[in-house]
Chain A
């Protein structure tokens, strides 16, 4: 499975309060998907101007298919899934970082978006570079600089299938359909 996109270079220590402030966790109606997506997309990184680890024009210019390449400690803190959702709903399709904290790592993958922790990778990219990620081969290419890097992820064997299915919930729904088809075939 191959992803290709435009890079946004983030700094280090992007925490979950920065990605999605607590005050917005009360809003958004989870039972109404389109309203919820709009709300979560809009509310993320709301105080970003007060920090120096996210490019100033990210919110205005991020578009579908973009990839974040960040320094160490991406996603520190809370289990709030909105921290991962807001990036996905803004269009970010993958996060690559020197290190990624556990709950954010899981949450982002579960949304069908790869989170790749790869020490030292942030030094190889700048905002505006083109990145290509091959999940099954375990390679990241900087198409702008013409360099390729091999990575190894510690993830369950079914994780890439899950991404191809569109995330954890769709993946489990599809498993269920396979099972019920098997049953009815008998």
Chain B
């Protein structure tokens, strides 16, 4: 069996599972955030159950609408806080204590290899970077998870994405992922799992790998996953005291398909043109497109290495005077690192605004909303029509390097020019 099949078999109490089999698995971790948390709680109350199945397995993070933007969102957060107190949930991250949920889950050691995680968010796939089964669900299902700690799943067959080679800066794992999505399309992995393997993945930092698992959902995948290696264990060492067993794919595991990539296939930085993450082209094809906003952040690309790359390009330069440049570290921990390394000063000097660790303008939630006809180049994960504001606004997705270069010119630009 493949890695994901082995995890699901273990959690379903079965010796063997097959792709497309329906299984019921135990849930090791469940996360809600402020975008759908109050909704989940309201549905949980309708179940007529008093207590959640296990408060120690629950994580609550406020990241979409904080600091609260209006009375409606403040009320949602108050409902969530009341629930946290009432249920005795210890893992609660108020604004200023955590950051973007997917980052917090991994960074705080909540996700362990070989475990299962569900959350009310499609980008829950991010946590598969730890060798866990992590996937998104809706609020009614989460209410039932709160009650019973179980989830049904259609076992996803595994598509192996094997990548050989070494990414040369300013190329980043985002460029690779956009190329992978171009190949797969928006439904290429529907009801399947993406498992990333190969020397290029082994060479990557955990942060770079998280880009790949984060955007697995953009191919329709149930989850994205990477087998734990020494880097994973090293990463977890200082973050968790809990024991875990590393699960690996069997040598004779059967993959639905194997797609082979070489890092040399990425001939230039990639940009996904609106309105799909799978619409990748080389940056030179869209170079010169005017942008009104440049966003560096999100659960896809708001980590320290992303900010380092952006700062390297922005250092000693000024961003375009008419372009809104927004930098948002993915978490308090990332912000602390960026402060210590002087990256925040670089951004401020360059004329960017630095926001508090939240989701920011990845979606139409809080700050950075686009007006009619505006164009944003973003390091986030989704460029659907109307995702970040007006339905006539356009979103281009790219790496933090490409976004930073574009911020300087106010036009989509090739980061190699500034590197």
CB of A103 within 8 Å of the partner chain: yes
Contacts of B388 in A (CB 8 A): 22
Distance to closest chain B CB from A117 (angstroms): 9
Q: Which of A18, A25, A107 contacts B138 (CB 8 A)?
A: A107
Q: Report the minimum CB–CB distance from A50 to chain B (whole Å).
A: 5
Contacts A73-B186, A173-B48; A79 near B140 (Cβ below 8 A): no
Our pick among A15, A79, A101, A154 for the contact of B120 (Cβ within 8 Å) is: A79
Q: Of residues 130 to 146 in B, which have CB atoms within 8 Å of A's CB atoms?
A: 136-141, 143-144
The answer, yes or no, to whether A21 is at the interface (CB within 8 Å) is yes
Q: Is B286's CB within 8 Å of the partner chain A? A: no
Is B364 a contact partner of A22 (Cβ separation < 8 A)?
A: yes
Instruction: Tell me whether B152 is interfacial, beta carbon within 8 Å.
Output: yes
Check: B43 CB closer than 8 A to any chain A CB. yes
B143→A79 contact, CB < 8 A: no
- The proximity string for B residues 62-76 relative to A, scoring 1 for CB distances below 8 Å and 0 otherwise, is 000100011011011
Which of B52-60, B194-202, B302-310, B378-386 binds A?
B378-386
Which segment, of A57-65, A123-131, A136-144, A164-172, faces chain B? A164-172
Asked if residues B385 and A18 are in contact (CB atoms below 8 Å), the reply is: yes
User: Could you tell me if B220 and A110 are in contact, using CB atoms closer than 8 angstroms?
Assistant: no
- Check A172/B138 contact, CB under 8 A, given A72-B187, A76-B220, A156-B22: no
Known A22-B365, A30-B39, A30-B42; contact A81-B22, beta-carbon cutoff 8 A: no
Given contacts A17-B384, A81-B36, contact A103 B122 (CB under 8 A): yes
How many Å lie between the Cα of A172 and that of B45 in the bound state?
12
Complex contacts, A73 vs chain B, CB 8 Å:
186-187, 220
Contact of A101 among B41, B73, B154, B190 (CB under 8 A): B190
Please tell me if the beta carbons of B140 and A81 are within 8 angstroms of each other in the complex: yes
> With an 8 A cutoff between CB atoms, is B121 at the interface?
yes
Quick check: B220 and A50 within 8 Å, CB to CB?
no
Q: Which of B42, B69, B152, B186 contacts A76 (CB 8 A)?
A: B186
Tell me if A79 and B121 are in contact (CB < 8 A): yes
Whether A31 contacts B79 by the Cβ 8 Å rule is yes
Contact yes or no, B385 A13, CB < 8 A: no
Pairwise interchain contact A47-B391, C-beta atoms closer than 8 A? yes
Band of interface residues on A = 35 or more
Is A111 close to B, CB under 8 A?
yes
Taking CB atoms and an 8 Å cut-off, the chain B residues in 24-42 that contact chain A are 24, 35-36, 38-39, 41-42
Which residues of B sit under 8 angstroms from A102, Cβ to Cβ?
A: 190-191, 220, 222
The contact string, 1 if C-beta is below 8 Å from chain B, for chain A 1-39, is: 000000000000101111001110111011100000000
**Distance to closest chain B CB from A138 (angstroms):** 16
CB proximity of B370 to chain A, nearest CB, Å: 11
Q: Does A91 contact B (CB under 8 A)?
A: no
Q: In the complex, which of the residues A157, A168, A176 has the most CB atoms of chain B within 10 Å of its own CB atom?
A: A168
* Binary A-proximity of B389-407 (CB < 8 A = 1, otherwise 0): 1011000000000000000
Q: A22 to B363, Cβ gap below 8 A?
A: yes
A103 engages B36 (CB within 8 Å):
no
Q: List 30 A-B contacts (CB under 8 A).
A: A13-B186, A15-B384, A17-B384, A17-B387, A18-B384, A21-B386, A22-B364, A25-B35, A26-B70, A26-B76, A29-B75, A30-B43, A31-B42, A47-B385, A73-B220, A78-B121, A79-B121, A79-B138, A81-B39, A81-B140, A102-B220, A103-B122, A103-B137, A106-B137, A107-B140, A154-B20, A155-B22, A156-B22, A168-B141, A169-B46
Which A residues have a C-beta under 8 Å from some C-beta of B? 13, 15-18, 21-23, 25-27, 29-31, 47, 50-51, 72-73, 76-81, 84, 99, 101-103, 106-107, 110-111, 154-157, 167-169, 172-173, 176
8 closest A-B pairs by CB: A22-B364, A30-B42, A47-B391, A107-B138, A81-B138, A17-B384, A110-B140, A79-B136
